[in-house]
Structure 1
Amino acid sequence: MKQTLPQSFAQKINTFIAAFASKNFRCGAISSRNFLRHTYLESIKPAYKSGLAGVFILLLLPFLAAAQLQETFSDGNFTHNPTWSGDVNSFIINPQNQLQSSGPAVTGTVLQLTTSSQAAVGTTWEFWANLRLATSASNYTDVYLISDKEDLKAPDVNGYFVRIGNTADEVSLYRKDAGKAATIIINGQDKTVATSNNVVRVRVTRSINFEWELSIDVTGTGQSYMSQGTATDATHRRSLYFGVLLRYTSANSQRFYFDDFRITDAQPPVLDELQTVNPQELILRFNEPLQPEQAQRATNYTLNGSINPILAELTGDATVRLVFGRSFSTGANELSIYNLQDLYGNGLAAPILSSFSFVPPAVLPGYNELLITEIMADETPTVGLPAQEYIELYNPTGKVLRLQGIRYSDATSTSILPDVQLLPQEYAVVVPNSQVQQFSQFGKVIGISNFPSLNNSGELLQLRQPNGMLIYAVNYADTWYKHNTKREGGWSLEMIDVTNPCAGIENWTASADPRGGTPAQANAVAASNPDNTPPILVDAIATSPDRVILRFNERLDSTQAASIAHYNISPSIDVAGVQVQGPLFHEVMLLLASPLQERQPYTLTAQSITDCAGNRSQPLTATFALPSAPAPGDVVINEILFNPRPGGVDFVELVNRSDKYIDLRNWQLANLSNDSISNFRSITAAPYVLAPGQYVVLTSNPENIKANYPASRQETFLRMTSLPSYPDDAGTVFVLQPDGQVADRFSYTSDMHFALLDDKNGVSLERVRLEGPSIANNFHSAATTVFATPGYKNSQSQEGVQAQRVFEISPRVFSPDGDGYEDFTTINYATEQTGLVVNITVFDAQGREIRKLARNELLAANGFFRWDGLREDGAKANIGYYIFYIELFGLNGQKSVHKEKVVVGGRF
């Protein structure tokens, strides 16, 4: 039987609606329902009995939605209808039915009251306030329009508030982010509340597009609003509470007054996002919370004009999950949404129509199926992009890739990618969640939390499946920019050829886009750059008696490289196992069946090794040996450049003068500071074995050294992050073994350079005799034909001379012209007793003294003195004969005199 409302009941409804609409009573959404319950309970009872109560409520919904909060305190309390919580004992309702502060008269007091409110978008907030005080940094109020916390004093509050007062005596709108200081988003006009009795009515609106406007009426009547500005901010889109927070000094504890709080949401919900989860499931995200009943009614959703979901589930206050009984059509689909309402009864005036495209199910990427193709490691100074680090992902496959759960890591941290799909040949830029909006203009953006900070100088980045399986790895460095200006910041590194993902520096370079990069877009430097070259075996290093590490110049086919059959060692030692070292796969560990012997060189042969691109090598060989424990003096300083040319860098060259193979892993360079060894720098954390007689050049910039000294041997360079400071005037170089012992030290001064050099900058000091001590007399300026000899034999190197007599001169004729050929002579000595002291004076052919070469020098068992052909005044000696007058004194007072002839030659 059809049911109708009794005429008397309908009249009562109309009377009630008229009263409600005339706003003759003051209530919020809750209190209006209480009014219904208490005032018209008897009238409603017949309707409930006849099943018509629902009709009554539906008739009232438009009026209940008129104000989601309307509080004028006319009921004389704030404990219900609505309920306020917080510092309730520090507020009163005064005789004028206003909320008034009544807290302790203590300077620095902070009070708060909050009440429930979920209105956040498409909303208008209005209120009246009277601050009967002079506002300041210690006397102001914050009216929170949106808050996710009931306790407004909590440091982790997220929301927005209107501040009345503070130092500028203004009314302004702020955003509060958890753990951070509040940010002003609309800066109101100064001095609008600059009296001792400040009355103001405030109105704030926020559109469904997150556009804010702040207006105030200093008359307090609501008839003379003046706009204070507009702004767009979508940072916080949900609310749980509305409230007031105030701060005061002791005299102002009772001088804050509030009234006429009104929150109105008259806008229907808006669909922010539609996401396909799988072939039969959608996620809908709306801009505000929804009424659960309508949101979960399956008939309110229609796919492609006729298909309703089998499940409509409200999974969050503004998120709906739809599950359909069939898969979506490939390509274009359309979803129609009807009859949804927000929490305040605002319904859709017309259906929402949302088109989406469906592609086949996404899969997790395998090895090299998801690439990092762009890296912005140093974002400042900016060129044209937002000042934010980022990486770019690219799908090189024909598959749709599912990124959910993929682990993106640097050396110290890991972040998890969200539930995002990447279409075939699609790019996406990855940034912190807070930066998504800044990058949306460029293309697809993936926001993540805990974005790993990228090192400007370079580091290893990895992508791995949720189970830990490697997808992709790249170990970038700032040398990859190949451009000194761009490496200083604001420019990204871009992969040149995305079909050659295993390549390193040769397939990366600085972006050529005028903005500084191409996030989420094809790279500006894109070009064909295939790898057609087979791998090279760089070296072999024995890390223990039964393990050898092989290093290759590029990534290998890890499966193929793991075969024992590819490796042979001579003298014969069987290979028991092979492990290809990830994640870059350019190192192979050989497990040996029997131990290596110290001081025994071995030859490793690797055959048919295939790189990542499929290029197969010819037989590759390398010599190695098991390292021995070092002793001080085994590895010594052989050359140092401490005064480089302008724009150049320092280097220290070491040489292994022992018959051992010595591993430099965990060795250190240092200098002298305040008479202590200081400023330690690790030479290398990886194995690096020096063979007998082998050189190694330590520098922070091998490319710079190579550019300044083209003859240098680049294969001897070992890059360090930084060297200790070695000043141009004087300093001390220390080389320390892993056990802390000093392997060698050399104290230098600029005066050690050959005095006749026109320019000492860029000229190194070289060791003269390998076996000699690391003292000034055993170092000389490099020849001016080369200026330095990094990585190869010193230009001033001299073989030791075995003295057949007490003193032996070599060479007898020399030419101190800096050409690297016999630029100095040496006075070599060998004695059979200790404690001898020597004086050496140089005389010319006329018997005139020209140089005191040594005075009271205590002799070792053997050694040498060096004369560079200079007079005492620093001038070059003339071409001709000279005499070394040598006086030798013993402990018992005995004395002997020796005279040796030498010739200073030169060009005529």
Structure 2
Amino acid sequence: MKQTLPEGLIYKVKAILSSIEWFASRLVPTPVIRRGLGGGLILLLLPLLSLGQLNESFSDGDFTQSPTWSGDANSFMVNAIGQLQSNGPAVTGATIQLATPSQAAVGVVWEFWANLRLATSSGNYTDVWLIANSEDLKNSSTSGYFVRIGGTADEVSLFRKDAGKGPVYVINGQDKTIASSNNNLVRVRVTRSINHEWELSIDLSGTGDNFVSQGTATDANYKTSAYVGVLLRYTSANSKNFYFDDFLITDTQPLVLQDAQPLNAQELELRFSKPLLQTEAEREENYTLNGSIKPIAAELTAPGTVQLRFTQNFKTGANTIAVANLVDVYENALAEPKELTFTYTPPAVLPNYNELLISEIMADEAPAVGLPAQEYIELYNRTEKVLTLKGIRYSDATSTTTLPDVQLLPKEYAVVVPNTQVQNFTKYGKVIGISNFPSLNNSGELLQLRQPNGKLIYAVNYADTWYKDNSKREGGWSLEMIDINNACGGIENWTASVNPQGGTPAQANSVSAANPDNTPVILVDITAIAPDKVLLRFNERLDSVQAANISKYTISGSIAVTNAQVQGPLFTEVILTLATPLQERQLYTLTAQSIADCAGNLSSQPLTATFALPSVPEPGDVVINEILFNPRPNGVDFVELVNRSDKYINLQNWQLANTSGDTISNSRSITVINYVLAPGQYVVLTSNPENIKTNYPAAKQETFLRMSSLPSYSDDAGTVVVLQPDKRIADRFSYTSDMHFELLDDVNGVSLERIRLEGPSIANNFHSAASAVLATPGYRNSQLQEGVMAQRMFQVSPQVFSPDGDGTDDFTTINYSTDKSGFVANITIFDTQGREVRKLARNELLASNGFFQWDGLRQDGTKAAIGYYLLYIELFGLNGEKSVHKEKVVVGGKL
């Protein structure tokens, strides 16, 4: 005889069978399930229920164990047919709860049966919590998701509850589905995918055969759980009218590695879709970084979170973490070994010295070649660090601006332009706009980058000679650094861009190539800038720490060095402080040993140089020794000075000028740095040393001193003025083109040379350079004549000369010496026939000693014939006395 089961138990069996069928349908083909739910098949599928996180039918009659429900235990009971039934105090507004642990949160199906044998209202409803972070479901700070059955709308809906806030709808179920006054039977199913897609379905028959969707939604606010449970609110008459059964939580989704986030340079946090089995989660061998690197520790820091720690830093940029053999707490494994790429960006830091470079300079933007007609600089991060530019001070020689809060990734370029030009440069790469963009000098200047506290980051003192291409230096082409790993390089590591557009802003430079510095440093010069201070200048940047070691320097005369200060920002100069003051007109020798440059190259041999303490100059100490005022076509002028004193004289802040009428004008600075002339030393002043060297190959290039420009010196006539720093005239020479030897066919490119070093700077003491050399920049004048001390009042030297321009005895001099002042002389030249050849001097006032020059030319400018000539000299005194002197001279030549 068939036994009839109670209604609730019938629902329970049907629910179990429905859940098994639903679960099995996801594991085996549907036709297999649909063959029938005979006992054999049920027995086959029942073990699969062990995969569920919760399977609670209350069949054991006890909700306090297996699993343990806690909370208001005295307010619930398991009734005779195995259902959880409310049994709370009959008090209106009472709230009772039960909760049991559950970590199911993502990729989960929740199902349960309920019957509210009452009329639901705002005071009679139940919240079935699917996900809760606390077992105290009454606490307003508890957060998660719950299904509400009842309420004023008599509905079944899914809500989200945020801590401290009221619930909000996730899925608003159909109103009036729970509208019975005494029998609201419902089976609820909620699914959540690994992509956080929710669906709420209800079956009002309670069997699980007729589920109807109440809607779908996406919500990812809470991805972990600690508890599930029920929360009831009722009036006094309904304290025993809530029934629950068949709580089934199933989790059959494969475990998914969702995210990898670096916590710092060596720690990585992995986040999974579900809670992990601890034993496998903490096996270091289950993780591999970048193909081969294993962590030294793996720690399960949260149910679905693993923290890995490595002994080496992550790569900046893309990294790969591989994970294998992990399972969740419900024994769902990773579908297969999983790889995930994550990006590591180190914290941004301020750059230190030579870590942030100026790698390109557009100083002269016009005429534009292909880029926007705008000056710019390019920055380059040569490190593996992320650099912040916030507060960095960028300056040129006259102004400073501050860079904005921008980050540069390792090996990244960025172009810096005025704010108004940003849009014009975005297509080239990263652009940084700034206000008050410092204008760049076409000819060159010092550019610096400094930290907000003033600490030097980088400095470059570019010049237009760095283009190494005269056409490109005229505009439209940028200067590019050749080797960005040779940060200390100067002219040898910069050149004009070869990109057809004229530059490569925010991109790798077009001239990029290996160009390492493998040469040791050279001591260029040394200057005593005070009796107790000496300035050393080197050809390249030094290792500033090593160069500050005083033990590396010794000075002759047992003069001790007490301090060595390397001068920024270029670190090419060192100031030594001496224990004993130097003496004027005394030569010293400095020796520097084991000096390293910025690249680490060490001088293998001691560096030596001689120097002296400069003296205060007097007018006439340094004089004009040679001038080229009428250069060849495409040539340039030069002025040569010579120190004819026994002093060491510093030319710093001296000036070269010309005259306008009787006024000195157009002054040009000779040099703003120390430049000491030793006794007898020459210096050649020109705007283009390369041009002078090309036109005069014998020129001594080491004597050249480049000036940005010389005052204008006319080809016809002009005046050269040399000014000391105190504005006194050191020397002055007025020239005309008529001073050139008249027999020269072409005077272009021929200089005028001083004849007597000690003589005055007057026309009579200058002569055209020998035709064989045309000019002698930087070395002994071709027409130099040593001073002749007349043994008598007049003396001719040489007595035989050949005015052929070969540089040997091209003229003769009539030297004189008097013991009185005020003599006036007439000099007339006659040939052997007594015919007048030339009036050499007329009413010339004589100094105490000096000379007259005869170049062998007749009065009409023709060359005198070879032979003897008489110099007829008339001398007149202040008191009317007169004397006559006769000297012989021979004009020689090739027959």
TM-score when scaled to structure 1?
A: 0.61
Q: Supply the distance in 2 between the matched residues of 1:850 and 1:480 (Cα, whole angstroms).
A: 58
Pick aligned residue for 2:434 from 441, 445, 448 = 448
Secondary structure (helix, strand or coil) at the match of 1:441 reads helix
Counterpart CA distance in 1 for 2:696 and 2:671 is 23
Deviations 1:84-140 (A, max 9, x none): xxxxxxxxxxxxxxxxxxxxxxxxxxxxxxxxxxxxxxxxxxxxxxxxxxxxxxxxx
Q: Partner of 2:515 in structure 1?
A: 529
Partner deviation per Cα, 1:600-647 (whole Å, 9 max, x = no partner): 111111111111111111111111111111111111111111112222
Describe how 1:668-817 pairs up with structure 2 within 5 A.
Answer: 668-817=655-804
> What do residues 178-218 of structure 1 show as CA deviations (whole Å, max 9, x unaligned)?
xxxxxxxxxxxxxxxxxxxxxxxxxxxxxxxxxxxxxxxxx
CA deviation profile, 1:361-418 (whole Å, cap 9, x unmatched): 2222221111111110000001111000011111222222222222111111112222
Residue identity in the other structure for 1:631: E
Following the alignment from structure 2 to structure 1, what is the Cα–Cα distance between the partners of residues 344 and 516?
34
Which structure 2 residues correspond to residues 230-269 of structure 1 after superposition, within 5 A? Answer: none
State how far apart, in whole Å, the 2-side matches of 1:900 and 1:841 are. 11
Q: Report the secondary structure of 1:833's partner residue.
A: coil
Q: Distance in 2 between matches of 1:398 and 1:330?
A: 7
1:886 aligns to what SS in structure 2?
strand
2:481 & 2:880 partners in 1: Cα distance? 78
Give the 5 Å matches for 1:220-239: none
1:587 has 2:573 as partner: yes
Contact 2:316 2:410 in 1 (8 A): no
Does residue 366 (structure 1) correspond to residue 367 (structure 2)? The answer is: no
Paired amino acid for 2:817: A
Alignment correspondent of 2:537: 551
Task: Give the C-alpha shift of residue 305 in structure 1.
Answer: 12
Contact 1:279–1:361, Cα closer than 8 Å, also in 2 = no
Aligned twin of 1:292: none
Matched residue of 1:458: which SS?
coil
Q: Distance in 1 between matches of 2:797 and 2:699?
A: 29
Q: Name the CA distance, whole Å, in 2 between partners of 1:777 and 1:661.
A: 28
Please give the per-residue CA displacement for 1:33-74, whole angstroms capped at 9, x wherever unaligned: xxxxxxxxxxxxxxxxxxxxx99xxxxxxxxxxxxxxxxxxx
Residue 599 (structure 2) aligns with? 613
Q: Is the 8 A contact 2:318 2:344 kept in 1?
A: yes
**Alignment CA distance shift 1:907-1:356 (3 Å):** farther
| Whole-angstrom distance in 2 between the partners of 1:474 and 1:493 | 12
Per the alignment, residue 625 of structure 2 pairs with 638
Q: Which residue of 1 aligns with 2:892?
A: 905
| Structure 1 pair 788–329 and aligned structure 2 pair: CA distance change class (3 A) | closer
Q: Is the 8 A contact 1:495 1:508 kept in 2?
A: yes
Question: What is the CA distance between 1:902 and its match in structure 2?
Answer: 1.4
Deviations 1:563-598 (A, max 9, x none): 111111112211010000011111000001111111
Task: Specify the code of the residue in structure 1 equivalent to 2:414.
Answer: A
* Aligned-partner Cα distance in 2 for 1:480–1:906: 51
Distance of aligned partners of 1:470 and 1:853 in 2 relative to their CA distance in 1, 3 Å threshold: same
Q: Tell me how far 1:893 sits from its aligned partner.
A: 2.5
Q: Secondary structure at the match of 2:421?
A: helix
The answer on whether the counterparts of 1:814 and 1:905 sit within 8 Å (CA) in structure 2 is yes
Residue 572 of structure 1 is matched in structure 2 by 558
Partner of 1:851: 838
Tell me the secondary structure at the aligned position of residue 739 of structure 1: coil
- Residue aligned with 1:415, SS: strand
Aligned residues between the structures: 579
Cα distance change, pair 504–430 in 1 and its aligned pair in 2 (3 A): same
Q: CA offsets, 1:814-852, max 9 Å, x none?
A: 121222111111111111222111111112232221211
1:715-773 CA-to-partner distances (Å, cap 9, x unmatched) read 22222222222111111111111222111110111111111222211211111110000
Per mean C-alpha deviation after superposition, the further-off stretch among 700-709 and 730-739 is: 700-709
Report SS of the residue matched to 1:447: strand
Which letter maps to 2:376?
A: Y
Structure 1 partner of 2:487: 501
Contact 1:428 1:519 in 2 (8 A): yes
1:413 aligns with 2:380: no
Two-structure CA RMSD over aligned residues (Å): 2.7
Q: Alpha-carbon deviation of 1:879?
A: 2.1
DSSP-derived class of the 1:907 partner: coil
Distance 1:713 1:587 in 2: 25
CA–CA separation in structure 2 for the residues paired with 1:879 and 1:482: 53
Alpha-carbon separation, structure 2, partners of 1:425 and 1:390: 19
Given that 1:393 and 1:429 are in contact with CA atoms closer than 8 Å, whether structure 2 keeps it comes out as yes
The residue number in structure 2 matching 1:27 is: none
2:470 aligned residue: 484
Percentage of pairs with the same residue: 78
Question: Does 2:865 align with 1:869?
Answer: no
For 1:188-587, what aligned pairs fall within 5 Å after superposition?
Answer: 358-587=344-573
In the alignment, does 2:652 pair up with 1:649?
A: no
CA-to-aligned-CA distance 1:273-313 (integer Å, 9 cap, x gap)? xxxxx9899xxxxxxxxxxxxxxxxxxxxx99999xxxxxx
Separation (CA, whole Å) in 1 of partners of 2:496 and 2:725: 38
2:291 match: none
Q: Deviations over 1:509-539 (max 9, x none)?
A: 1111111111111111122222221111111
- State the distance in 2 between where 1:901 and 1:463 align: 74
- Higher-Rg structure is 2
Q: 8 Å contact 1:279–1:360 — kept in the other structure? A: no
Measure the CA separation in 2 of the matches of 1:631 and 1:625.
Answer: 18
State the distance in 1 between where 2:634 and 2:615 align: 39
Q: 2:508 corresponds to which letter in structure 1?
A: A
Given the superposition, is the C-alpha separation of residues 894 and 430 from structure 1 closer, same or farther in structure 2, using an over 3 Å criterion?
A: same
User: TM-score, normalization: structure 2?
Assistant: 0.62
Verify: 1:894 aligned to 2:888, yes or no: no
8 Å Cα contact 1:839-1:857 kept in structure 2: yes
Q: C-alpha offsets along residues 409-460 of structure 1, whole Å, 9 cap, x if unaligned?
A: 1111112222222222222111111111111111111111111110000000
Does the Cα contact within 8 Å between 1:888 and 1:896 map onto a contact in 2?
Answer: yes
State the distance in 2 between where 1:768 and 1:660 align.
22
Q: In the TM superposition, what is the alpha-carbon distance from 1:895 to its structure 2 partner?
A: 2.1
Q: Distance in 2 between matches of 1:479 and 1:2?
A: 91
Q: Which blocks of at least 5 consecutive residues in structure 2 are unaligned?
A: 1-119, 123-167, 170-260, 265-269, 275-306, 309-313, 320-340
Cα distance between partner residues in 2 of 1:754 and 1:526 = 54
Question: Alpha-carbon deviation of 1:896?
Answer: 2.0
Mapped partners of 1:556, 1:360: distance in 2: 31
Instruction: Report if aligned partners of 2:316, 2:384 keep a CA contact under 8 Å in 1.
Output: no
**Which of 646, 653, 656 is the matching residue for 1:666?**
653
Residues 760/329 of structure 1: CA separation in 2 closer, same or farther (3 Å cut): closer
CA contact (8 A) 2:752 2:769 kept: yes
Q: How many angstroms apart in 2 are the aligned matches of 1:758 and 1:599?
A: 46
Offset at residue 357 of structure 1 (A): 5.6
Q: Is residue 665–residue 686 contact of structure 1 (8 Å, CA) maintained in 2?
A: yes
* 1:84 corresponding residue in structure 2: none
Say whether the 8 Å CA contact 2:542–2:596 is kept in structure 1. yes
Structure 1 residue runs without a partner (length 5+): 4-53, 56-277, 282-302, 308-325, 334-354
